[in-house]
Amino acid sequence: MRAKPDTAEAALQVRAIYAEWESRPIQRHCTGIADCCRFKLTGRTPYLTRGEALVAARAWKAAGRKDVVVPADGSCPFLHPHTGKCRIYDGRPFGCRTHFCEVAGGPAHRNDVRDLIQRLEDIDIRLGGSGAVNLPTAAKEAMDRAK
């Protein structure tokens, strides 16, 4: 019988991948203006592996939240409606760190992220996932699984 994946361990591994990305000498300039978090505005939504969704859901729960509610304007459910700040910034997904902001430098070069994405995909498989899922759906599923 296959062992149940250790979600705490998986979350640590995902955070280690984020830390490794942040330590790479690649210039990023996230200014927190959050335009990339307004998915209808950009026409692009981040896709999350299960491990990323797990880290986001844990951060959301740590902030005392029980549910993920998608705003009517189609923005990210983690975006604060008044301050325009990410409410899980420390636990935000990989795509938010590497791909979704022209101001921050545009999409990271594939060669700079390929190995880290592979590790995220390996964790996804270990957690029973079958590939990345759009952020609102992935986050809701992660919250449900953690209930």
The contact pattern for ligand SF4, residues 27-46, with x = CB under 6 A and - = no contact, is: -------x--x--------x
34 or 127: CB nearest ligand SF4: 34
Phi and psi torsions of 134, nearest 5°: -60, 145
> Is 53 an interacting residue with respect to ligand SF4 (CB under 6 A)?
no
Taking every pair of Cα atoms in the chain, the longest distance, rounded to a whole number of angstroms, is 48
CB-based contact 138:60 (threshold 8 Å): no
**Which amino acid would we find at residue 19?**
A
Q: Which residue has the tokens 């991948």?
A: 17
By CB under 6 A, tell whether 108 contacts ligand SF4: no
With residue 134 as reference, give the H or E element that holds it. strand 133-134
Q: Which of 76, 104, 127, 138 contacts ligand SF4 by CB under 6 A?
A: 76
What's the closest the beta carbon of residue 96 comes to ligand SF4, in angstroms?
3
